[in-house]
Chains A and B, each alone.
Chain A
Amino acid sequence: MPFLRRRPPAPTLILTALLAASGLVGCAEVPDPGTITVLNSATDTHEHDEEQKFFDRCAKPLGVRVRQTSVPADQVASKALRMASSHSLTDILELDGSELPQFADTGGLVPLADAGVDVTGMSEGAVSMGSFRGTSYGIARSVNSLALIYNADLLREAGVEPPTTWDELKAAAKKLTRGRTFGMAFSATPDADGVYQFLPFFWSTGGDEARLDDGKGAPALQLWKDLVTSKSASSAVVTWNQQDVNDQFIAGRAAMMINGPWQVPVLSAQKNVTWEVAPVPVPEAGRPPVPPIGGTVMALPRTGDSGRQRTAAKIVNCLNEERNQVAWGEAVYNVPTRTAASAAYKDQNPKLGAFADQVATARSRTGRVGARWPVVSDALSGAFQSVLTGRATPDNALKQAQSRATAGK
């Protein structure tokens, strides 16, 4: 009879366990005066350690330490909001550039000028990325952009020069498509990745994110559609994020791709792929490329503690000294935002010159629509997804996108 067996009464066990567990309760957050806190998205171990190196370098002379909390990039905004509601926001908040306006709009960020952070000498795009309604709230140490990365061997074998215009791009992609290798790969996922990749095409043909239905952006949709219908690019681009695109390229399944400088360490580790970088092709020869500028910005939340805020501002200023910007840019394969630092970076990294050049003319995603960017971005991704899957013509898709972007507004 199993039920007659004596056992220690369960509640006692439970009580003991609960008591033991309660010893693990974290103390209420009391800010340590000697520690400046940072929330960022540096979850990658290498990136996290690099960040820490720079923070330490800048914090040591001030006699403080820096503690990072890193969460996945798409979680930074919501985590920061939760922290704000519990008055536990970090002293430095490192946001994606596209999220800055929404935060600045809440009134929860300190204007950089008030905090004593200087943004003079930064490239125009970088300043614009950190601004909301004409005021700087965020400062970018380095930024990235997009370029055309191509497999030099495959291009040489096919006798193709790196394309500079859309017509050349289509012709080259067609010529490079052989067997299981596509001429071209890009990301068209319905998220930040896809939209980021669509923008250089959309903008360089005159598209306007504030007026999606003005017809000017339609040729960009048509270009993507043509690449897919001519089978020069896989119809699976609608499911490939930028990492997947890079995977396809490395595996030799794509001769050219659109991608960013953060892929460089992975690309460089490949022995059997020779890769080169060129600017994103433009609609017609002579038109300037208009790549998007991306990356994170550092902002200073209003924590109500002016002493800590001053310390945080000093750290941010130090991180943005020319020497530190160049070193940081090299560490994460992004381009420094100080014009002078960018030039130095280009001298030292000739292979990434195309990226450095792109950044000079690159445009911020939130410059025109500000805090409405997430809605607009969603509408844009709806447009290219429906065109690529054959559910709408470019013109119709943009009309729908405009009504989606302005619905309820």
Chain B
Amino acid sequence: MTTTVTTSVTAPTGRPRPAGVPRERRRATLLRWCFVAPAALYMLAFFGYPLVRNILMSFQHYSPRTYFTGEAPFNGLDNWRGVFDNPLFAQSLWHTLVFTFGSLLGQFVLGLALAVFFSRRFRLSGFVRAVLLLPWLVPMVVSAVVWRKLLDQETGVLNTLLMDLHLTSSAIPWLSSPNVALFAAILVNVWIGIPFNMVILYGGLQEIPRDLYEAAALDGAGAWRTFRSLTLPLLRPVVTVVLILGFMSTVKILDLILALTGGGPADSTQTLGTLTYQLSFQQLDFGQGAVVGNVLVLVSAVFAVLYLRANRSDFGQGK
């Protein structure tokens, strides 16, 4: 209920005089920055510093020896050349994009459908909505392990079920065919992402004033038209938040794929995230790993800028 405190309570009290003396104004500005400074400093330390370090590292010969001697000679573009010459890189980039957009599409559509569905009032609606968030609480390492068992071609429950119901005549190679594995990984990630999407979109739906719907109903708009021309536009700022945050967390995903398929079969689920892990921590070529990490940040930034340009008004503006 605190979300909708009305202005009428306090509006008549009047406004303070703006500070007249420049020094006072400067002091006020300083005070305002004091609110931002701790968070800004923290972010510089915990995000800025690692990012800069990673960019530097991608131009260095950073090997296991570096950890012992502390020496990491600069080697120009060698790491970048090495990564771009690696045929796995282009494949991984493609898989990353397919995985990200596939996951987002599935999570968002299903999340929105569930959010709309649970906005209706019916028995047990609140309970079911709360319980649906449970998958979110399970660490991803564990989810992936359970799913690996569920999707096992020979003994997995999913195939057993499909075959017992005669929906398919032969076992589906969920994780063992290069043509299916990426799809299976998307399926699992959609499952993981539904709760997050549902919660935020549901919250957004609750904010749309009811009288607008009543007006739409008076105008004789059907359910679908109301949804398209009323709900969706009003929900757009929330949609932007969901999609941007979803994109950024999906594009760099690592633990899920590592635990589910390890990048296989035949590299068909190798993404930029798994590639940077493989280069850095299995081949211990930290310079090349850093290159892929940088590419990942770059991909993310490009899409964020494009999306924000298209939806300028939704994000990052004050009142």
- Residues on A lying within 8 angstroms of B by beta carbon are 1-3, 74, 77-78, 81-82, 84-85, 102-103, 105-108, 180, 182, 189-191, 234-239, 244, 247-248, 251, 253, 374-375, 378, 381-382, 385-386, 388-389, 391, 404, 407-408
Contact = CB atoms under 8 A, between A and B. Distances in A.
Interface stretch (B20-28, B116-124, B210-218, B262-270): B262-270
A81 B284 contact: yes
B68 A107 contact: yes
Contact of A386 (B67, B152, B266): B266
A192 to B, nearest CB: 9
B45 to A, nearest CB: 16
B281 A391 contact: no
A408 B82 CA distance: 6
5 contacts: A180-B154, A238-B266, A251-B155, A385-B264, A389-B177
Interface string B195-234: 0000000000000000000000000000000000000000
Consensus secondary structure, chain B interface: loop
Interface in B70-94: 70, 81-82, 85-87
Contacts of B68: 84-85, 106-108
Contact of A236 (B64, B153, B263): B153
Contacts of B100: none
A248 B266 contact: no
Nearest to A391: B266
A182 B171 CA distance: 14
Given A180-B154, A375-B283, 13 more contacts: A85-B70, A106-B63, A189-B264, A190-B263, A234-B176, A236-B176, A239-B176, A378-B278, A382-B267, A389-B177, A389-B178, A391-B178, A391-B266
B67 A407 contact: no
B283 A239 contact: no
Interface in B269-298: 278, 280-284
Contacts of B317: none
B2 A239 contact: no
Consensus secondary structure, chain A interface: helix
B175 interface: yes
B2 A2 contact: yes
Contacts of B69: 106-107
Nearest to B1: A2
Contact of B262 (A190, A248, A389): A190
B173 interface: yes
A390 to B, nearest CB: 9
Interface of B: 1-2, 5, 9, 63-70, 81-82, 85-87, 148, 152-155, 173, 175-178, 261-268, 278, 280-284
Which 3 A-B pairs give the minimum distances between C-beta atoms?
A: A236-B153, A190-B264, A108-B68
B126 to A, nearest CB: 22
A389 B267 CA distance: 11
A408 B261 CA distance: 27
A382 B67 contact: no
Contact of A239 (B1, B153, B278, B284): B153
Contacts of B278: 378
Nearest to B263: A190
Nearest to B87: A404
B276 to A, nearest CB: 13
Contacts of A388: 265-266
A132 to B, nearest CB: 12
Given A107-B68, A375-B283, A378-B283, A235 B173 contact: yes
Contact of A407 (B9, B86, B152, B262): B86
Given A77-B284, A81-B67, A407 B267 contact: no
A278 to B, nearest CB: 24
A190 B269 CA distance: 11
Nearest to A190: B264
Most buried by B among A2, A84, A251: A84
A84 B67 contact: yes
B64 A407 contact: no
A191 B178 contact: no
B188 to A, nearest CB: 14
Most buried by B among A81, A105, A191: A81
A256 to B, nearest CB: 15
Contacts of B66: 85
A2 B5 CA distance: 10
A77 B67 CA distance: 11
Nearest to B282: A374
B265 A190 contact: yes
A191 B270 CA distance: 13
B284 A374 contact: yes
A103 B64 contact: yes
